[in-house]
Amino acid sequence: MSVISIKEVSKIYNPDKIPVKAVDKVDLEIEKGEFTAIVGPSGSGKSTFLNIVGGLDNPSSGAVVIDGVDISTFKESALIDFRLNNIGFVFQSYNLIPVLSSLENVEFIMLMQKIPKEQRHARAIELLKEVGLEKHLDRKPSELSGGQQQRVAVARALASRPKFILADEPTANLDSHSTENLMGMMADINKKEEATFLFATHDQRVIDKARRVVTLEDGRIVKDEKR
Amino acid sequence: MVLLKVAWRNVWRNKTRSGVVVVAVMLGVWSLIFALAFMNGFFKSYLSNAINKDFSHVQIHSKAFLKDGEVGFVLDNFQEIKKALEGDKTIASYSYRLKTNGMIASAKAARGVDILGVDTIREDQLTRVQSDIVEGNFLGGIKRNPIVIGRDLANKLKVKIRSKVVLTFRDKDGELVAASFRVAGIMESVSVKKNELTAYVLDKDVRNLLKLGPEEFHEIALLCKEEETVETLRTALQQISGNNEVASWRTLAPELEVMQSQSKISLGIIVGIIMLALCFGIINTMLMAVLERFKEIGMLMAIGMKKSNVFAMIVYETMMLSIIGGPFGLFLGWASNTALKEKGIDLSSYSDGLDKMGIDSILRPSLEQSDYMFVVFSVMIMAVLAAIFPARRAIKLDPIEALHKI
């Protein structure tokens, strides 16, 4: 069964005035353990598509089924709960909580899931070890490099044991060395933990690592290439 | 707990800004306490002077005397009342008075006057009149018919110490009687009435003129040790007083009670204004803090932080700022009140005006423990109210909008 099943999803902005179709009847199935890049030029609908898949926005029509649950009709509070327990987010600007250490940042999401202290502490350490930051547990984001911060963000995204990880331009602010490291690390985690990754990216280095590349143009899928 | 931890750390992200708010809260609480204590001291001074110098806590008169003012209407059941007063431990002091009104005339002028025939020791214990004497003394130093009058009355009559004045009034039978007295003392009281309209004479000097017996009086005035016992004592005395009217200062001077309630309203307005200023300061700061963290709060909501938690986090931050500043302000307020209570605030440059209002020129700020608790409670309520607007603003953030800014 697909982890993500997108069925005829459309998103129309300003339906009553000057309608703008950001996503137009998109169908897409993402299987467990996929490492997929969504690519396309600016204005192609990548961001809107990711918002819908990530449960941050509702589609105008169609269904978004995550692990068998249709979230397209969920109310806001239900979507917040769903995001917390099912989706991991990695953002372009890392967006860690600046007043918390690496360890606390990773623990924070598990705390919201009400996971007992010992368990969340152990998992946070394990994840930070996995992303190679076991020596930086107590460092605040401001004491880490961009690459290191993004690694913490990946660890945080994995912490809640999500159904999939949504990464929006994760390497946009990284140099080539950090990008190489991050992508290598995410690919390893993808293989090792069978974690499903869905990237929105312009970065050719990310696209090169992806095992499936979906190209969007004018809100429609124009190419779906599996490698 | 972690929310509290995050809120605490967020408070100190911008130390200068938080510091300014903490100092503002501290000064706000201090000014609140000081304003309350100052106003309270102001009113207490007025009330205390009115009670101690004019009305006393309780006064007893014959009902007929109150109605007609005729000197023949003396106190009923005097012996029984006297016995009760002597045995009551809640009473601080009391005085028996003969009371009438008449004319006082000097060689140059004449005025209407309230004449009080008193026992000097009892009267001084009750009204501390000796402390108001600025020239001469309280009915002493003159062998025959001494009289004490207020400074304003003395000026109007153009008399000084040892000057002769003539009192004219009606006796028990309604006949006009007149007698000459010599000025033994001139007083300057915070009571306007005493300065302009009162003449003290010895009860023995006026008793014969009024044709009254040795145990006949028109008025008993008394002070209780504690204000709280006034009503109980008044009720008890009323029961043994026959045809007398036993009235507390609240009945004798209803304007004091009106002033008391008005002062509470004024204090409420002052508290409201200071709280409002404080509240807007905090709202402004917290709103800046929220807007500055637009991305971060949006991200927290995107990854699944409940709106209630975001709301709570902002409320915690606001309350922390108040909780840090509040106790400092409280301490500062308590310290300044304690220091000024001993020494008082010297308002002697306004003494003319204050005297006319019946207020001491040395003002002692005064605040009860319950008032301090009121301030603490008000600041806490204000902090929660001030947090609502920024917290609501925070939870209204659209995570998508925040993500687009990433």
pLDDT in tens, B250-307: 888 888 878 878 888 888 888 888 888 888 888 888 888 888 888 888 888 988 899 9
Is residue A184 domain-resident? yes
**Tens of pLDDT, residues B24-66:** 889 888 988 888 888 888 888 888 888 888 889 999 999 999 9
Is residue A150 domain-resident? no
Is residue A23 domain-resident? yes
Strands (E), A91-211: 164-168, 197-200
Angle subtended at Cα A163 by Cα A196 and Cα A161, rounded to the nearest 5 degrees: 105
The Cβ of residue B122 has, within 10 Å, a number of other Cβ atoms equal to: 16
Domain that holds residue A204: 4-95+158-226
- Which of B10, B296, B306 lies nearest to residue A80, judging by beta carbons? B306
Is residue A47 domain-resident? yes
Which residue from B minimizes the CA distance to A90?
B303
Burial class (CB in 10 A: 0-12, 13-18, 19+), B217: buried
Mean pLDDT for the stretch of residues B68-79: 91
Taking the CA of residue B74 as centre, how many other CA atoms within 13 Å lie in the half-sphere pointing to its CB? 18
- Which of B10, B295, B301 lies nearest to residue A99, judging by beta carbons? B10
pLDDT for residue A37: 93
Buried b (16+ CB within 10 A) or exposed e, B21-48: bbebbbbbbbbbbbbbbbbbbbbbbbbb
Chain A: closest CA distance from residue B329 (Å):
28
Find all residues with CB under 8 Å of A162, minimum gap 6, and list them. A85, A86, A87, A88, A195
Tokens linked to B236: 């008890």
The answer to whether B10 and B335 have CB atoms below 8 angstroms apart is no
Which of the 8 DSSP states describes residue A72? T
Does the distance separating the beta carbons of A109 and B303 come in below 8 Å?
A: yes
pLDDT for residue B403: 63
The Cβ of residue B308 has, within 10 Å, a number of other Cβ atoms equal to: 10
Mean pLDDT for the stretch of residues B170-199: 89
Which residue from B minimizes the CA distance to A83?
B304
Burial class (CB in 10 A: 0-12, 13-18, 19+), A187: middle
B315 closest CA partner among B376, B384, B393, B361: B384
Chain A neighbors of B14, CB-CB under 8 A = none
**Tens of pLDDT, residues B337-380:** 888 888 888 777 776 677 666 677 777 888 888 888 888 888 88
The Cβ of residue A177 has, within 10 Å, a number of other Cβ atoms equal to: 9
pLDDT for residue B95: 95
Residue B252 CA to residue B243 CA, distance in Å, equals 17
Residue A52 CA to residue A9 CA, distance in Å, equals 9
Question: How far is the CA of B47 from the CAs of A96, B33, B133, B269, in angstroms?
Answer: 62, 20, 21, 21
Chain B: closest CA distance from residue A54 (Å):
9
pLDDT for residue B406: 40
SS3 of residue B256 by DSSP: helix
Q: Which residues pair with B291 in a beta bridge?
A: none
pLDDT for residue B405: 54
The residue behind tokens 């990433």 is: B406
**CATH number of A18's domain:** 3.40.50.300
What are phi and psi for residue A30, nearest 5 degrees? Answer: -115, 120
Buried b (16+ CB within 10 A) or exposed e, B66-94: eeeeebbbbbbbbeebbebbeebeebebb
pLDDT for residue B313: 92
- Tell whether A142 lies on the interface with B, counting CB pairs under 8 A: no
Chain B neighbors of A100, CB-CB under 8 A = 6, 9
- Tell whether A172 lies on the interface with B, counting CB pairs under 8 A: no
B317 closest CA partner among B342, B292, B351, B349: B292
Domain tally, chain A? 1
Does the distance separating the beta carbons of A56 and B399 come in below 8 Å?
A: yes
ipTM higher than threshold 0.90: no
Residue A53 CA to residue A200 CA, distance in Å, equals 12
pLDDT for residue B356: 66
Chain A neighbors of B2, CB-CB under 8 A = 104, 107-108, 111
The rounded percent of chain B whose pLDDT value lies above 70 is 96
- Which of B10, B304, B306 lies nearest to residue A109, judging by beta carbons? B304
pLDDT for residue B384: 87
Does the distance separating the beta carbons of A89 and B406 come in below 8 Å?
A: no
Has residue B156 got a pLDDT over 80?
yes
Find all residues with CB under 8 Å of A129, minimum gap 6, and list them. none
Q: Residues of chain A whose pLDDT is less than 50? A: none
Helices marked H in B96-246: 120-127, 129-132, 151-157, 192-197, 203-210, 230-239
| Selected residue of A108, A117, A138, A171 to mutate for chain B interface (largest B Cβ count, 10 A) | A108
Residue B28 CA to residue B32 CA, distance in Å, equals 6
Return the C-alpha torsion angle B226, B232, B233, B238, nearest 10: 160
Domain boundaries, chain B: 2-51+256-404, 56-252
**Tens of pLDDT, residues B316-333:** 998 888 888 888 998 999
Mean pLDDT for the stretch of residues B132-159: 92
Q: How confident is the model at residue B92 (pLDDT cuts 50, 70, 90)?
A: very high
**Tens of pLDDT, residues B294-323:** 888 888 898 889 999 999 999 999 888 888
Residue A197 CA to residue A51 CA, distance in Å, equals 15
Is residue A167 domain-resident? yes
B28 closest CA partner among B274, B219, B256, B260: B274
Question: How far is the CA of B96 from the CAs of A93, B75, B236, B251, in angstroms?
Answer: 89, 10, 18, 20
- Which of A56, A80, A85 lies nearest to residue B400, judging by beta carbons? A56
pLDDT for residue B121: 92
The answer to whether A3 and A66 have CB atoms below 8 angstroms apart is yes
